[in-house]
Amino acid sequence: MLHRAAELTQQALLLAVVLSGPALLAAAVVGVVMGLFSAATQIQDSAVGFLPKFVAVALVLVGLGAWGASTLLRFTHELWRALPTLVR
């Protein structure tokens, strides 16, 4: 029982990393590109980097939203099925 709970916790943490990874990667890549652009043009405004990062993260979430939702739903279904064995 304890082994199964630890396994489900590990799966939940891995799922959180997998689901948040693409959005964080997109924000990091756009942030580096905007930082290089800002350094090259000497524009030192923090608002310049916000909008492109916001758009990139929004596009990633829209593009991968169905996959992420189905993955999360599959894990939740597995968690609900395992619940009776965890409370014994």
Boundaries of domain holding 24:
2-86
Q: Using the predicted structure, report yes or no on whether residue 1 has a pLDDT greater than 70.
A: no
CB 65 within 8 A of CB 22: no
Say how many domains are in the chain.
1
Distance of alpha carbon 5 from alpha carbon 34, whole angstroms = 43
- What mean pLDDT, rounded, does the chain reach? 89
What's the confidence (pLDDT) of residue 41? 85
Q: Using the predicted structure, report yes or no on whether residue 27 has a pLDDT greater than 70.
A: yes
Q: Which of 8 and 22 is assigned the larger pLDDT?
A: 22
> What's the mean pLDDT in 42-68?
89
Q: How many CB atoms lie within 10 A of CB 56?
A: 20
CB 8 within 8 A of CB 72: no
Residues 6+ apart with CB under 8 A from 34: 48, 49, 52, 53
What's the confidence (pLDDT) of residue 38? 84
Q: Which helix (H) or strand (E) holds 65?
A: helix 46-86
Record the pTM: 0.77
